[in-house]
Chains A and B, each alone.
Chain A
């Protein structure tokens, strides 16, 4: 069974641009969540989606948004990029009642 797939693996953007990251969950997993990981703040929860609905949200500004499609695939978008948005963005999926399975992330660098 394929794991959680995140694309692209690496991304370089300029301040002020916007970016879209993609996540394909493990087949059959309906819950998808996103996390930001930085050396200073560690792993921080961004949001969780289930059946195309946002179920939970972390403490991030409105520039960070996401969505989930009917096939459970998810995207997250960051608008008006700032240098501080440079991070590893992780996606995780799980079936109901089971632990999270993480992808290997998208490393975003903002210059």
Chain B
């Protein structure tokens, strides 16, 4: 699986959109971008994934650049409950579970 690069931490004001970047410059053509988050003392929670088109669900939006070398997770209206570590990973869709998690981005939502 390709590696990803994320900023170690970010701040966002409550109620504003949180934009979390991820660089995956070595992504292969059949690899998807997945986002998970981990709230303190809980297991990682799946957020969203995509291949090349932008995706949106009830939790977030995923914007993938045309060259697929980077992506941005958008939490449209951040709340204090969105404080967590966010992981961006790339892998062939559901091929196996040998996922390589990086260090992720620790998102602080400021009241």
Binding site for B on A (CB under 8 A): 4, 31, 33, 42-45, 48, 55-56, 58, 90, 92, 94, 96-105
28 examples of A-B residue contacts, CB within 8 angstroms: A4-B43, A33-B97, A42-B103, A43-B44, A43-B99, A43-B101, A44-B101, A45-B100, A48-B96, A48-B97, A56-B96, A56-B97, A56-B98, A58-B98, A90-B43, A92-B44, A94-B97, A97-B93, A99-B34, A99-B49, A100-B36, A100-B97, A100-B99, A101-B46, A102-B44, A102-B45, A104-B41, A104-B43
Q: Is chain B's binding surface mostly helix, strand, loop or mixed?
A: loop
Residue of B nearest to A34 (CB): B97
Residue of B nearest to A57 (CB): B98
Count of inter-chain pairs, beta carbons less than 8 A: 54
Contact (Cβ within 8 A) B42 A45: no
Contact (Cβ within 8 A) A99 B46: yes
Cα(A102)–Cα(B97), bound, Å: 12
Cα(A48)–Cα(B102), bound, Å: 19
Contacts of A97 in B (CB 8 A): 93-94
Cα(A52)–Cα(B70), bound, Å: 37
